[in-house]
Amino acid sequence: MPLRVNLPKSASVATLTQDGKLFSSSAARNVQAIVSLVRQRAPMRGNALELASGTGQHIVELARATPGLNWQPTEIDSHRRESINAHVAHTGLSNIALAMELDATAPGWSTKNNEQDFILLANLLHLISETETKTLIREASLALAPGGQLIIYGPFKRNNNLTSEGDLTFHASLQATDSEIGYKNNEDVFVWGKEKGLTSSIQIDMPANNLAICWRKPH
C-alpha cells in the first residue's frame, strides 16, 4: 500500500523521545492486553512475525514475555523502523531481530517470510482498504507453517454495526479522509480468512471494545 499521510490525527499519534524511540499512548494502553493474549495463544517455541510493528513498544514486550519465540518486527515506515530498532537496542533481548522493511498489504511478501509459527497484526485493518486487507490475510496464510497461528487485533464492526460512540466517531473520521478505509466487519474478516484456507477461527473480546480474531493453518 502507499504510505498513507492523510489519516486523521487520532489514527496514529506518536511522539519522539530523546533516545530516538517513538512513544504512542494508545500502544502503551493496550500492550499488556495484547501480551497476555499472545502468551495464552502462541506456541512455546518457533518463529514469530509481527506485521506493522509501529513504534516498537509492543514487540519488545512480546519478546520479553515469550522467550521461546524468535520475533521479527516489520514496518513500512522508515522512521518507525528506526524507533523499533531503538526500542530493541535498549532491551538486551536475544530473541528479537532488527526491524525489517515490509508492506503487509503487498502481494508476494510471504515468499521470503514463510514457515512462520505465529503471526500477529495489531491495529491496522481499519487503516487499509478491503482489497488490501484480503491481500494481507492471503499473504499471512501463505507465510504460516502448517499448524501456525494468525491473530489480528483491533477495532471492528460487529455484525455490520459500530457499538460505541467512540467507534462511530473514529470510523467517520477515517472515511472522511479516505472512503476506502475504516472499520472492517468481523464476520467478513472471518470469511476472508476461511477463503484463504485458515481454520479454527475464534473471536476474543478485548479491552477498549477491541477484538482479537484468531486462526490456525491446517497441518
Q: Which pLDDT value is given to residue 77?
A: 94
d(CA 9, CA 58): 21
Q: What is the spatial order of strands in the sheet that 211-216 belongs to?
A: 100-101, 69-75, 46-51, 116-122, 144-154, 211-216, 199-205
pLDDT, one tens digit per residue, over 125-147 is 999 999 999 999 999 999 999 99
Q: Which amino acid type is present at position 130?
A: E
Quick one: which H or E segment has residue 71? strand 69-75
pLDDT, one tens digit per residue, over 172-204 is 999 999 999 999 999 999 999 999 999 988 999
Q: Which pLDDT value is given to residue 7?
A: 52
Q: For residue 208, which of 91, 79, 33, 3 has the smallest C-alpha distance?
A: 33
2 vs 56: which has the higher pLDDT: 56
3-class state of residue 199 by DSSP: strand
pLDDT band at 8 (very low <50, low <70, confident <90, very high): very low
